[in-house]
Chains A and B, each alone.
Chain A
Amino acid sequence: MTTKEKLEKIKSGRLSATENIKACLNLIKEKNKQINAILYVNPSALEDAKKADEKIRNGNAGKLAGLAIGIKANINVKGMPISCASKTLEDYYGTYDADVVEKIKKEDGIIIGILNCDEFACGSSGEYSAFGPTNNPSAPGRVPGGSSSGSAASVAADFCDISLGSDTGGSIRCPASHCGVVGVKPSYGRVSRYGLIDLAMSLDQIGPLSNDVFGCALMMEIISGHSKYDATTFEKEIPRYTEFRKPNKIVIGVSKSFDKLCSDAEIANVINDCVRKIAKSTNSSIKDVELKYVDLSIQTYYPLVFVEFYSATRKFDGRRYGKKIEESCGREVLLRLLGGEEISKSEYEGKYYRKSLEVRELIKKDFEKAFSEVDIIISPTVPMLPHKIGAKITDPKVMYAYDAFTIPANLAGFCAGVVPCGKIDGIPVGMHIMAPSFREDLMFNVMKVAEEGR
């Protein structure tokens, strides 16, 4: 059942919120031990569902009434453990609702629980949680991708209808691709980050994951908008993303620069087939765009992340929030902290962070130029299929390569979404659709075409 069909059933009384939440809770009870997508189940979920049912009966229910919503463990929900999947914050409970959570509650969405992720969102596989790796429900035994591993896996396993993740370099889109679900990284400044425990504040965005494009579009209508608590958000009109309009005669950008980043030719073939189908279905043309610096995205991104993450975590000194981070975190988090500390030293002034900012500007200009020639750009989401859980990947750079296609959207601030578009040996492959900043409407319209064509 699609999210739209489920909502219609709930609104018409053919399915109650209580029945929906009970079904999710039963699935969690039955399968979460194997999947490990949920770290905490909301004990009040059924109570909240009953209240939603009453509102539905009275005709004053919100847009999300009756739907089960999962929240990544780095987004504050009042009264729930927001551990960032780390021992550092394992006893920390949210003292307030993040802006996005407040908006979900206002629309009567039911918070089903807090979702597993890579520790402090540092990871691309979902294996770096202090509370154990998440399994991929769509490709059992393989990683679900990260860092929003639980957000993608819980949607794929039907533990919830829509989830929220955070995306700093691909953390929503990479797991969406590996788990065969839809995921969206909004434009920077579209969604308030207030209440998100940040990884790198100049790159982070909160976004939705769902089993269909409608679910993500609906959630984006709700969580988008200006917030007085996040100065980077914009006062811009929020289009009705769920009123999809089929694009006609657009120009679809692809790039030869992507070819050398994709280590798996089969993935490239699946994506190219889908691009041709979209072009045919929308009477559109395909144009090759030049992206001179896209192959330097990983090298540009990580120095920025190391420094910003080091800065963001100075509050975790063991006095106010949990334990001292350097003494309680896992290896990947420690690597980023020590790297950030090292390259922030005044003796290196300008050598690392500043140089990365300079190249970031060039990458941004590359994409701005490309978007002046085409309407959207399509690429694979991840250059390889998800590896088996526990496979020995000791070189962090191998793991960093998972985000080669997704990082530019964060560096340049534009929006990007992932739609499942095929399978290789039974493993899902997602297509990555990028659109200019604040053109989520166009992005969703193309995602919808891709969804209908698969």
Chain B
Amino acid sequence: MENTEEVRKLAKKIMDEFISALNKVKETSPEFGVRRNENIREPFENKYSDSDFKDRILKNAKNVNGDFIVAEKKKW
């Protein structure tokens, strides 16, 4: 029986082989999602958001501290 590290290496090797085949594809679909260069979403005003969403969530929470929900494991 192989050890876990050997299985991990094999899995990575298979993935690398598969991705190198996919990387030969240069065509992209115009409908394919938005590409972000950074994984940080800036705060923004969303005019479509539900205005009382925050109030309902806070009301439903078991413990609230000001504007925050106090979430304890297995409590809520």
Contacts and interface: CB of A to CB of B under 8 A. Distances in A.
Partners in one complex: yes
Interface of A: 293, 296, 298-300, 302-303, 306, 326, 331, 334-336, 338-339, 342-343, 346, 349, 351-352, 355-359, 361-362, 365, 396-397
SS class, residues of chain B in contact with chain A? helix
Given A331-B2, A358-B29, A339 B22 contact: no
A342 B8 contact: yes
A217 B19 CA distance: 38
Given A296-B21, A296-B22, A358-B32, A352 B7 contact: no
B11 interface: yes
A293 B7 contact: no
A299 B14 CA distance: 9
A356 B16 CA distance: 12
A299 B4 contact: no
A397 B13 CA distance: 11
14 contacts: A296-B22, A298-B18, A299-B18, A299-B19, A300-B22, A326-B4, A331-B1, A335-B14, A339-B12, A339-B14, A342-B11, A358-B25, A359-B25, A361-B32
A362 B1 CA distance: 39
B8 A299 contact: no
SS class, residues of chain A in contact with chain B? helix
Given A293-B25, A299-B18, A303-B19, A339 B31 contact: no
B24 to A, nearest CB: 9
Nearest to B25: A359
Interface string B15-48: 1011101110101110111000001000000000
Given A303-B18, A334-B4, A361-B32, A342 B23 contact: no
B11 A338 contact: yes
Contact of A342 (B15, B25, B39): B15
Nearest to A346: B39
B10 interface: yes
Given A296-B25, A303-B19, A358-B28, A339 B39 contact: no
A302 B25 contact: no
B25 A338 contact: no
A154 B73 CA distance: 44
B19 A339 contact: no
Nearest to B2: A331
B35 to A, nearest CB: 8
A334 B11 CA distance: 9
B41 to A, nearest CB: 14
A362 B12 contact: no
Contacts of B1: 331
Contacts of A361: 29, 31-32
Q: Which of B11, B31, B33, B39 has the most CB of A within 10 A?
A: B11
Nearest to B13: A339
B46 to A, nearest CB: 21
Given A331-B1, A339-B8, 6 more contacts: A299-B22, A335-B10, A335-B14, A342-B15, A361-B32, A362-B28
Contacts of A352: 15, 19
Contact of A359 (B4, B22, B31, B39): B22
Nearest to A361: B29
